[in-house]
Amino acid sequence: MYTPPRLSSSSSSIDVAILALHGAGVDPDPATSSWTSAVPPQRAWIAWPFGLTEWGYDWHGPSLRDAKLAVQHLSKVQDLWGLAVGQKVASRKAKSEERKVIVIGHSNGGQGAWYYMSRFPDDVVGGIPASGYVKIQDYVPYTFSRGQHYRDPFLTGLLFAGLSSFDNDLHASNLAGKAILSRHGGDDDNVPVQHSRELVSAVEAWSYGKPTITYSEAVGAGHWFDDVFDSPGPLAFLDELITNSTLPPPERKSALKFTYTGVNPDELGSMYGFRLVSVGLSGRLMRLTVIIYPSEEPGAFDAEVETTNVDAFSFDAAKLSSQYNLNVTTLRYRGQKLDFSLSSETTFTFSSDARLFTPSPSPRRTRRYGPLISILTSPEPLLIVVGTFGSASTTRHFREIALKIARDAYVYGRVDCVIVEDREVMGREGAFAGEGSVVLLGGADDNGVTFVWSATWPLDVQFIAPTVVRIGSSLFGQPGQGILFLAPNPENVKSLALVLSGTDAEGRESAARLFPVRTGVPLPDWVFPIKSCRGIQIQSSGFTATGLDYDRNWMIVEEKTHKFLTARTVPRMILIGTAISIPDGTLTITVPESSEYPETSFTVPLAPPSDDTAWHPDFKIWSSPALDGWVVGSEECQKLLSAYMGKPVLLIQKGREPREAGPTGYVQGLPGVSLQYTEHPSVSFADEYPILVVGRDSLNHLDHLVMTDKAVQDAQPRFDREKWKDGGIEIQRFRGNVVVKGCEPWVEESWQAVRFIPVEEGAEQEDWEIVSRCGRCQLPNVDPATAIRDPVVPDMFMQETRKTSPTMPTKLCFGVNAVPGRRNASVSLLTRLSRTPRPGNRVYNPSVAVFVAEILKLSVSFTMLVREKAAKDANKKGGRVNHFASAKRALWDLAMNQRAEVIKLSVPAALYATQNTLLYIALSNLDAATYQATYQLKLLTTALFSVAFFRTSLSLVKWLSLLALTVGVATVQLDGIRSPSKSADSGLSDPKVGLAAILAACVSSGLAGAWFEYVLKSPSPPLPTSSTPGTPVTPSPSSPMINSPASTSSSRASSRSRPQLRENSPSLWARNLQLSVPSLCFSLSGVFLSPEWSQVARFGLLDGFTPLVWAVVVNQALGGLLVAMVVREADSVAKGFATSIALVLSTLASMIFLGLVPGVLFIIGAAMVSASTIMYAMDKS
């Protein structure tokens, strides 16, 4: 935006413009922003750049370029506008890019004014920096951050060296001689007044006794004060600068001394015609100290130059003469006379051999470098090149990262991006990126452009393998390591390249999170734990079918009626504060002061109570059916809330019973919505729907109406004009969960879905269907800071434009409601889902789950054994059944006659208990596909241990079939199928731990299976035939006795065959009972020795057990009994084949019934599994 000059006859030629930089968070829309009225029209044009977004980049990088373009394009605006009457342009120079500026700014804009003036001294006349900070490290100090107690001093030095190009105090010498008025409020509680005081002192120190800077402190004023620019002092200062800019430079007769300081030459202009072109040692300060004094020749000047850490500098004698009336004819460096051109810029490069500067034959262009955020300073759209030379999954991951970078760069900085693949651009002629910056996704093995360009880089970087990179003398190849660095663009010296890669998916994600996209704060998202109470601003959240984690999971109700209370009728509820601590598992509730109590905080667990004594089924929200929930919090907590609310109340937490969300047609008029619920979505204590999406740009439009709609203002006598003159409706008033930004106002009402893209490898994106507009009551009229209801704002300003529901004429719509998208399949891995944390539930202890499963197995086995014995007794005794006697005999047999068998089975029992615990750990740290594929290695371990135990040998065909089966199953599971199980595979903790656990489980599984089969099928002394205490034991006629020579030879002849089940072998249920007793002991020991024992001791053995967890435990117990049956009748390897074939068949069923689309790898893997099964069955050797 531009403000034209006011009419004036005091000057016929204006050769300067005012550049006004706004503060962080200021609305960039000139139609609604009050910033553009901070300075009244002057005798010069005013340019109001908006830094691309309201937060911008602290007027560095892309935002600085936006500011400079605003000045450069002023000539076009001036031509379109037409010059004011009586005003003429002295020369074309006034309408060119060389126009000088006066820089003013407030807060972050004040910091921007310091930055602009100190980096481009020759481009500015002076300025008014107001309430600006020196540098970000002082504004948000690191002094008391927790990490500073542990940081390495050397790495800290590198960090501050990387930030030094943004430090205004280091560049204070460049402000000497500039006319500057620094302003600050004496009681500023945002930017401490010491910032301006210190920076002014630093500039004075560099002025060599001739300061031109003035400091003005407004006593008692805060961060912003109304006359910061619009007051006599600043206006007179601006007028003087404008006037002086029209006069020719005064004749100078005395010497001039100045010091030009810089860190990054690419971010610097010139000072008195001198420019720093190249740094000697990166990260260190460059200094150019110049003394200009009259020479013996009349009207001429000589200049002496001293440098520090400068590799090259340039000198423009013509600029020095025209701007400052200084005609330098002689230039010396340490006594050496330097030859230069009087009409053009000359570059001098330092020669390390001669220790002197020598003129360059042509002007040297500065090669760009700097911190990572420099990549966003791109004169053309940012080009993101996706590497396609790696695996399919890696390429797919890079595409996802490219979309995320492009989205963030646009939303937070309005940076345009173009996404291409390396194969698309490698065949193009010329510089395919132009002058734009380039982001290369993938190292030399994954990205063809990286491979070609890396050979030209003056960097000690070598891509040794797809997962190994050497930087200097350090190798990076450990799992989870990300790689991110800047490099030159060999096609354009003024362009940068950024390489992003990683040793694996986790490493790539880590690097992607470090990509610089913004400064300031992220877009706010909110959860409101207690209905109608104060919300919590978050940066990320998990979510379930009922909405964001912990959102509206609690509610305050009347004690007698159990009806819910809302801030619609009790506005003061909105002041009740909430805070969530995931590590402690608590919700902290802060109750403001009441007549009986001071402000008090108390906590309640995030998890619901473990017993049902506080459970009630009859809570009410509007006209919905009765809801269940737990009364939570102590009696004292309820008293606190009751005293504040002015009536007896209860705090309740949502119960286990699902509550259906509202219908899709609740609010009509939403185009394109034809969603039919297949499974009705659930909601906690929100009014109707799980998630509310609101638009920041829609709020800006509503804010604009509040400030400009004179008809509504005049029709409402209670409208507070002074309060709302600058707008300022808070987004919290509308209590949305997700805030979208960077769109047209109200465009969210035309959307059909909101897509959430996860960062975890293997997790699928989630689409939430938008089903209706959100009809609002008067709750948005309640000020979230004071709980005072405004009688007019915002609802009265929404009456004409937001009545979009013909079925609900009283509802004014703001925001849209969303529900989970339709699911096409059920979760295939119950255990993985059960180990995913859910709101209101702590994650159960896996050792307890193993222990409970063993109890179930023991109970089922004992029950079935008693039934078996009772049936046998009934046959002997004529149909009479005595279960008690049968149970007594079964216990006596186990304790007295089967101890040796129990001891034998202690080894597989311990292994099985260990294996089950390891599998839970693996499932907590691996995604489903990786878990299923890796666990197939148990086939090989089982075969190896079986060969070792039974001294059998497998034929070559069988070995090949085993290998083919393992590879085939792994191939199937790693295929990129849209598996429904992946929707639960988020929140992985440590894949390395998961991989180690599952490999150990494979070894344990193979050893336990072979040992168990050996016990079942190897010869052993016979078991007693009578279970009655005191009855003599008689060997069975079929029991193996001492071998005769014939039997011995027969045994040897069949030594290569796998032994068969003993004829006198106990029944299946007896064997499982023998196995369950030691397993129970080992699993109980595991509970006591587990790291989560403190949780068990505090919350109980079954803490975290949900219906899903019970389903997993029952499945584990009954599945173990089924495995025992398979092993008894077949063998361990056959069992593995059956498991693997079932796994593939289940995937095929998903294709037929659930619409999944297989890839090429699936077809290949399925064919390998089928072929290996046929090979194994047909081989009779």
Q: Does 585 or 450 have the greater pLDDT score?
A: 450
Largest CA distance in the chain: 139
Which segment of 477-486, 848-857, 867-876 scores lowest on mean pLDDT?
Answer: 867-876
- Per-residue confidence (pLDDT) for residue 492, from 0 to 100: 80
Residue 325 CA to residue 302 CA, distance in Å, equals 13
- Per-residue confidence (pLDDT) for residue 842, from 0 to 100: 54
Given the DSSP bridges, would you call strands 496-502 and 438-441 parallel, antiparallel or unpaired?
Answer: parallel
Q: Tell me which residue of 408, 481, 409 sits closest to 443, measured CA to CA.
A: 481
* Average pLDDT, integer, range 304-317: 92
Task: Count CB neighbours of 1029 within 10 A.
Answer: 11
Residue 98 CA to residue 90 CA, distance in Å, equals 14
**With 70 as the cut, is the pLDDT of residue 877 above it?**
no
Q: Please, which pLDDT band fits residue 460 given cuts at 50, 70 and 90?
A: confident
Residue 1103's DSSP bridge partners are: none
Match 């059916």 to its residue by tokens: 625
Which segment of 184-198, 445-459, 472-486, 738-752 scores lowest on mean pLDDT?
Answer: 738-752
- Per-residue confidence (pLDDT) for residue 1006, from 0 to 100: 79
Give the list of residues 6+ apart from residue 197 with CB closer than 8 angstroms, or none: 184, 215, 217
Q: Give the global pTM.
A: 0.51
- Per-residue confidence (pLDDT) for residue 1178, from 0 to 100: 62
Q: Tell me which residue of 1076, 1064, 1074, 1077 sits closest to 1020, measured CA to CA.
A: 1064
Residue 280 CA to residue 288 CA, distance in Å, equals 12
Which segment of 262-266, 678-682, 704-708, 1012-1016 scores lowest on mean pLDDT?
Answer: 678-682
Specify the DSSP class assigned to residue 793.
T
Specify the DSSP class assigned to residue 899.
H
Residue type, 562: H
H or E, element range at 356: strand 356-359
**With 70 as the cut, is the pLDDT of residue 340 above it?**
yes
Q: Tell me which residue of 838, 686, 529, 608 sits closest to 616, measured CA to CA.
A: 608
pLDDT digits (tens, 9 = 90+) for 511-521: 888 888 654 33
Walk across the sheet containing 586-591 and list its strands. 577-581, 586-591, 600-605
Beta strands in 1036-1162 (DSSP E): none
Q: Tell me which residue of 577, 693, 575, 595 sits closest to 643, measured CA to CA.
A: 595
User: Sign (positive/negative) of CA torsion 443, 444, 449, 454?
Assistant: positive
* Average pLDDT, integer, range 1018-1036: 37
CA distances from 844 to 230, 610, 848, 994, 1108 (A): 64, 12, 8, 17, 11
Q: Please, which pLDDT band fits residue 589 given cuts at 50, 70 and 90?
A: very high
Beta strands in 369-527 (DSSP E): 382-386, 417-421, 438-441, 461-465, 468-471, 474-476, 482-488, 496-502, 525-527
| Three-class HEC string of 211-240 | CCEEEEEECCCCCCCCCCCCCHHHHHHHHH
* Angle (CA) 791 793 795, round 5°: 90
pLDDT digits (tens, 9 = 90+) for 1037-1047: 222 222 222 33
DSSP helix/strand/coil, 530: strand
The radius of gyration of the chain's CA atoms, rounded to the nearest angstrom, is 39
In DSSP notation, 629-685 reads EEE-S-HHHHHHHHHHHTS-EEEEEE-SS--BPPPTTSS---TT-----SS--B-SS
DSSP helix/strand/coil, 1060: coil
- Per-residue confidence (pLDDT) for residue 304, from 0 to 100: 94
The answer to whether 39 and 77 have CB atoms below 8 angstroms apart is no
Residue type, 297: E
Which segment of 244-248, 310-314, 974-978 scores lowest on mean pLDDT?
Answer: 974-978
- Per-residue confidence (pLDDT) for residue 862, from 0 to 100: 79
In DSSP notation, 427-456 reads T-SS-TTTTS-EEEES-TTT-HHHHHHHTT
Q: Tell me which residue of 273, 252, 269 sits closest to 331, measured CA to CA.
A: 273
H or E, element range at 333: strand 328-333
Residue type, 1059: P
Which tokens hold the place of 324? 């400052």
- Per-residue confidence (pLDDT) for residue 308, from 0 to 100: 93
pLDDT digits (tens, 9 = 90+) for 617-656: 889 888 778 888 999 999 999 999 999 999 999 999 998 8
Residue-wise burial string across 854-863, b where 16 or more C-beta atoms lie within 10 A, e elsewhere: bbbbbebbbe
Match 């599945």 to its residue by tokens: 1119
Highest mean pLDDT among 316-320, 727-731, 799-803: 316-320
Given the DSSP bridges, would you call strands 691-695 and 256-262 parallel, antiparallel or unpaired?
Answer: unpaired
* Average pLDDT, integer, range 542-570: 89
* Average pLDDT, integer, range 382-408: 89
Walk across the sheet containing 468-471 and list its strands. 461-465, 468-471, 474-476
Residue 359's DSSP bridge partners are: 348
**Residue 228 CA to chain centroid, in angstroms?**
39
- Per-residue confidence (pLDDT) for residue 687, from 0 to 100: 87
What is the rounded end-to-end Cα distance, in angstroms, of the chain?
A: 87
Residue 923 CA to residue 931 CA, distance in Å, equals 7
Beta strands in 874-960 (DSSP E): none
**With 70 as the cut, is the pLDDT of residue 316 above it?**
yes
DSSP helix/strand/coil, 186: coil
Highest mean pLDDT among 405-409, 900-904, 1155-1159: 405-409
φ, ψ dihedrals at 159, nearest 5°: -60, -50
φ, ψ dihedrals at 59, nearest 5°: 60, 30
**With 70 as the cut, is the pLDDT of residue 175 above it?**
yes
Mean pLDDT of the chain: 76
**Residue 138 CA to chain centroid, in angstroms?**
26
Give the list of residues 6+ apart from residue 605 with CB closer than 8 angstroms, or none: 585, 586, 587, 632
CA distances from 155 to 150, 161, 162, 286, 1029 (A): 11, 10, 11, 21, 77
* Average pLDDT, integer, range 775-801: 88
| Three-class HEC string of 82-136 | CCCCCCECCCHHHHCCCCEEEEEEECHHHHHHHHHHHHCHHHEEEEEEECCCCCH
The answer to whether 556 and 573 have CB atoms below 8 angstroms apart is yes
- Per-residue confidence (pLDDT) for residue 723, from 0 to 100: 87
- Per-residue confidence (pLDDT) for residue 654, from 0 to 100: 92
The answer to whether 139 and 23 have CB atoms below 8 angstroms apart is no
- Per-residue confidence (pLDDT) for residue 12, from 0 to 100: 45
pLDDT digits (tens, 9 = 90+) for 94-123: 444 468 899 999 999 999 999 999 999 999
Task: Count CB neighbours of 993 within 10 A.
Answer: 15
Q: Tell me which residue of 744, 742, 726 sits closest to 52, measured CA to CA.
A: 742
Q: Tell me which residue of 448, 23, 37, 456 sits closest to 226, measured CA to CA.
A: 37
Which segment of 186-200, 211-225, 711-725, 908-922 scores lowest on mean pLDDT?
Answer: 908-922
